[in-house]
Chains A and B, each alone.
Chain A
Amino acid sequence: MSGRLTRRRVRLLAGVGAVVAVIVVLLMTGLGKDPSVIASPLVGRAAPNFTLPQLDGPPVTLAKLRGQIVVINFWASWCTECQVEQLALDQTWQQFRDSGVVVLGVDFEDSTDAARSYVRTDGVAYPVVEDSSSKTALAYGLRGVPETFVVNSSGRIVKHVIGPVGGAALTSDLNSMLARAQ
């Protein structure tokens, strides 16, 4: 490129650089957000109670789990993104099951056979209930699957994640909740 680096040019270039820097910094603040954590109107409210039949085991009533932290995960065997988060949920269950945390899968719009075979092949270790009438899904204002609600020991929803949950974020949330409880 021809031309000398005059003082005027330096000033102009510095100006362009400064404006671009401001724009970039501003836009960067937007990047830090996690769009899957939404300000759900349910957060802070009591989790709607339910009693649902377990795939393999006795029915589960949410109210009876009061005193424990419950991670309610809505999923379905036909849902690809549910597979993505499956491992993180299993690890959370293994890590926290003895510290008063329950991971509970709620099967949504699914057939019992498909759900069973999914649980078997993907090695889902935590309890899974069936919401065959979708009443629980409606009560939780479900938009689709996967969606995850974290309910604290006093039965209030403290977090709502749309889309697959991240294992690290869930672990740190649970750790801080458990620390606060002690």
Chain B
Amino acid sequence: MSQLGTYLLLFGLAVSGYGLLAAAVGAKAGRPALVESARRCAYALFVIVAAAAATMLAALLTNDFAIGYVAGNSARETPVFFKALALWGADDGSLLLWNLILAGYIAAVALRFRTDRPPTFPYALSVLFAVQVFYLILVNGPARPFASLASPPADGRGPAPLLQNHPLMAVHPPFLYLGFIGFTVPFAFGVAALLAGQGSDQWVSIIRRWTLVVWCFLTVGLVLGALWSYSVLGWGGYWAWDPVENVALLPWLCSTAFLHSVMLQERRGMARLWNIALVIGAFALTTFGTFLTRANVVSSVHAFAQSSVGPAYLAFLALVLLGGFGLVAWRLPELRTPASLTSAISREGAFVANNVLLLAATAIILLGTTFPLVVEAVSGQQITVGGPYFRSAVTPVFLLILLLAGTAPLLPWRATNRARALRRLRVPAAAAALVMIATAWAGVHQAAAVAGFGLATLVFVTSGQEILSGLAIGRHGTRGGAMRALARGRRRHAGLVVHMGLALVAAGIIASSSLAQQDQVTLKTGQSTVFAGQVLRYQGLHADRQPQRIVLTATVAVTNPGGGSAGTLDPRMNLYPATTAPIGSPSIRRGIVWDLYASVISLQDSGGSATFRFYRNPGVNWLWFGGLVMALGGAAAAWPGRRRRDPGGDKGVSPARGRTAVEAGAR
């Protein structure tokens, strides 16, 4: 199987190399036949890479320990589910998944543009193939997932214990990869527009929807990552400002900026250069993030040990930055924007402010993440930049973003009618003020938290009010139907739903970071403690010997203040043969308002006494739910609609030109 996989990857490299050449020559020489053959290559490539990934999967499932990767990341006793997940459990295997998803995206582009092809298509296709060539070189050279061992061991080492502890590992990496790798498509079309010298706005309408889809995947991937951290690591939190978390957030912020500023270009022909720079920036940030993760440049829980792909990634990153921004510089004269801002307090002004804030957040996080590198390069000292920096630097920016999200949807384009906007702000502002007074009265004394709750309310109520008024216009309008009205302004309404999700996420983050309680106690069997108004009683330790591990479960009975039982918590410690340190699994009683969360820190006297850490985390579930709402809103905005000539749901708010041309182009 080792040989089959190796040959498949080599074959894939050859095919993508041919695709790159055919598309590039076809584009340059204007030969549609060559472009068509390159387009078909995309399907073949996908099949080949899928076969390679399937080969690895089969090797994992059949315990083919002759393959070094299988021996290092799977074992006979590993449950089948986690054997399959080992496919992306370590560096070399995850590069297979990376290649598979990239090939999938290329095939999707090939399918999408099988008949109607914009002039930039051949260029975009060649850029896509070029990126795939790079990733296939990685698995054919520096990283060799199918490399075989001279003498296969009788049993493998098994997956890293943390990775075989929770089923979320099945979905978090694929979603994150779908998000990360997906930025290749907007990047390819952006670069293609620059290569083809297309000063028009066509490229932007092509990639808006792709970017939205990718953005949704990344949103889900980030939320799932936070959920995994919360449910598995046992420290009671979900975001540690770990370098790898940060670099996943960077392209998200950058693409969120793009999704807003793209409207400036669609409606007013503004910000062309800016938009292309954002798309290239988002892709460069994903490449940078991958480099940082896989080249062992920073220490992180996510760092892949012993990776040899660092120099290759760095070369690729240099190429992306030079090629992308070099092209932007080259085309600068043609990308000059004709229109300019007429008023700062207008929808356009708000989008500009939105971009400034999102990019400020990106810069702050990028700076904090790379600062240790700079210091070490200059002075040789090792430092780490931790949560306090990020929290204090980013919080004001995020609060301003909330303020903007709560007011900007009310602002008209070109600032023709500001009085109306002020009128519509009354209810949301009143609601926000009410919530702020209530939280302060309830004993929340941190100014940022009080302001945050108020601003989250502002965003939620403004968005809800705008959606409802969209419905009302439909009801009293000439062509009936509330649903029809919603559908007509789908993009706007979907955007408002995303904002409502954002408000929920913000409220969850603020609640959990400012109102959480925690305590560490050591309890003997039968002893109890009072935490957050509930009585917690340690009932004893139970050991369970499973084939791949030993599980020690410490049962804690929870009693309500009134005396009624509220169930049990059963935090665990898992002992794996490959490591000395036990891996803890927290136990969480999830609730709408707050979670009760318990971890075992240590055991004494063979379980006769145990040290626990208890947390009461408010609002954490709003965060997961809000993330889901954001992703669903994004999906609704990206959903293909019917062609129609109708300026639609921005009725009354927007005196600008209709969206027909833009919408048709985006389809």
- Residues of A whose CB lies within 8 Å of any CB of B are 1-3, 8-9, 12-13, 15-17, 19-20, 23-24, 26-31, 33, 35-36, 39, 77-81, 83, 109, 114, 121-122, 134, 137-138, 142-145, 162-164
Q: A39, A109, A162: which has the most chain B beta carbons within 10 Å?
A: A109
> B291 touching A27 by the CB < 8 A rule?
yes
Q: Given A13-B330, A78-B153, A163-B306, verify A31-B577 contact (CB < 8 Å).
A: no
Instruction: Name the A residues within 8 Å of B330 (CB-CB).
Output: 1, 3, 9, 12-13
Q: Does B225 contact A (CB under 8 A)?
A: no
> B314 touching A143 by the CB < 8 A rule?
no
Q: B75, B299, B377: which has the most chain A beta carbons within 10 Å?
A: B377
CA A28 to CA B151, docked complex, whole Å:
36
Which of B65, B68, B155, B195 is close to A1, meaning CB atoms less than 8 Å apart? B195
- Residues of B whose CB lies within 8 Å of any CB of A are 65, 68, 71-72, 75, 149, 151, 153-157, 195, 197, 291, 295-299, 303, 305-306, 310-311, 314, 317-318, 321-322, 325-326, 328-334, 370, 373-374, 376-377, 382, 577-581
> B149 touching A83 by the CB < 8 A rule?
yes
Minimum CB–CB distance from B603 to chain A (whole Å) comes to: 15
> A39 touching B72 by the CB < 8 A rule?
no
The closest CB in chain A to the CB of B374 belongs to A26
Q: Given A2-B197, A30-B376, A145-B578, verify A35-B156 contact (CB < 8 Å).
A: no
Q: Given A81-B72, A122-B151, verify A1-B306 contact (CB < 8 Å).
A: no
The closest CB in chain A to the CB of B150 belongs to A83
Q: B155, B303, B330, B382: which has the most chain A beta carbons within 10 Å?
A: B330
The closest CB in chain B to the CB of A110 belongs to B577
> B305 touching A30 by the CB < 8 A rule?
no
The closest CB in chain A to the CB of B373 belongs to A30
> A17 touching B72 by the CB < 8 A rule?
no
Which of A19, A30, A77, A145 is close to B377, meaning CB atoms less than 8 Å apart? A30
Q: Given A15-B329, A16-B329, A20-B321, verify A27-B297 contact (CB < 8 Å).
A: yes
> A16 touching B322 by the CB < 8 A rule?
yes
Q: Knowing that A30-B298, A31-B311 are A-B contacts, what are 20 other residue pairs whose CB atoms are under 8 Å apart, sorted by A's residue number?
A: A3-B197, A3-B331, A3-B334, A13-B330, A16-B322, A20-B322, A20-B325, A23-B317, A24-B318, A26-B377, A29-B376, A30-B295, A79-B157, A80-B71, A80-B157, A81-B157, A121-B151, A138-B580, A144-B578, A163-B306
**10 tightest CB-CB pairs across the interface, nearest first?**
A30-B297, A12-B329, A35-B296, A29-B377, A80-B71, A20-B321, A16-B325, A144-B579, A80-B72, A31-B310
CA A144 to CA B9, docked complex, whole Å:
32
CA A164 to CA B308, docked complex, whole Å:
14
> B317 touching A143 by the CB < 8 A rule?
no
> A12 touching B332 by the CB < 8 A rule?
yes
Instruction: Name the A residues within 8 Å of B291 (CB-CB).
Output: 27
Instruction: Name the A residues within 8 Å of B329 (CB-CB).
Output: 9, 12-13, 15-16
CA A63 to CA B310, docked complex, whole Å:
41
CA A79 to CA B310, docked complex, whole Å:
25
> B373 touching A29 by the CB < 8 A rule?
yes
CA A142 to CA B296, docked complex, whole Å:
21
Which of B155, B373, B382, B577 is close to A26, meaning CB atoms less than 8 Å apart? B373
Instruction: Name the A residues within 8 Å of B580 (CB-CB).
Output: 134, 137-138, 142-144
> B297 touching A31 by the CB < 8 A rule?
yes
Q: A26, A121, A163: which has the most chain B beta carbons within 10 Å?
A: A26
Minimum CB–CB distance from A17 to chain B (whole Å) comes to: 7
Which of A80, A145, A164 is close to B156, meaning CB atoms less than 8 Å apart? A80
CA A25 to CA B627, docked complex, whole Å:
38
Pairs A–B under 8 Å by Cβ, sample size 17: A3-B334, A13-B329, A16-B321, A20-B322, A24-B314, A24-B318, A30-B376, A30-B377, A31-B297, A33-B297, A78-B153, A78-B578, A80-B149, A81-B72, A138-B580, A142-B580, A162-B305
Instruction: Name the A residues within 8 Å of B153 (CB-CB).
Output: 77-78, 80, 83
Minimum CB–CB distance from A90 to chain B (whole Å) comes to: 14
> A143 touching B156 by the CB < 8 A rule?
no
Instruction: Name the A residues within 8 Å of B156 (CB-CB).
Output: 78, 80
Which of B71, B305, B317, B579 is close to A27, meaning CB atoms less than 8 Å apart? B317
CA A81 to CA B157, docked complex, whole Å:
9
CA A1 to CA B193, docked complex, whole Å:
11
Which of B72, B154, B297, B321 is close to A23, meaning CB atoms less than 8 Å apart? B321
CA A27 to CA B295, docked complex, whole Å:
10
CA A8 to CA B377, docked complex, whole Å:
33
> B577 touching A78 by the CB < 8 A rule?
yes
Instruction: Name the A residues within 8 Å of B71 (CB-CB).
Output: 80
The closest CB in chain B to the CB of A141 belongs to B580
The closest CB in chain A to the CB of B157 belongs to A80
Minimum CB–CB distance from A141 to chain B (whole Å) comes to: 8
CA A36 to CA B304, docked complex, whole Å:
11
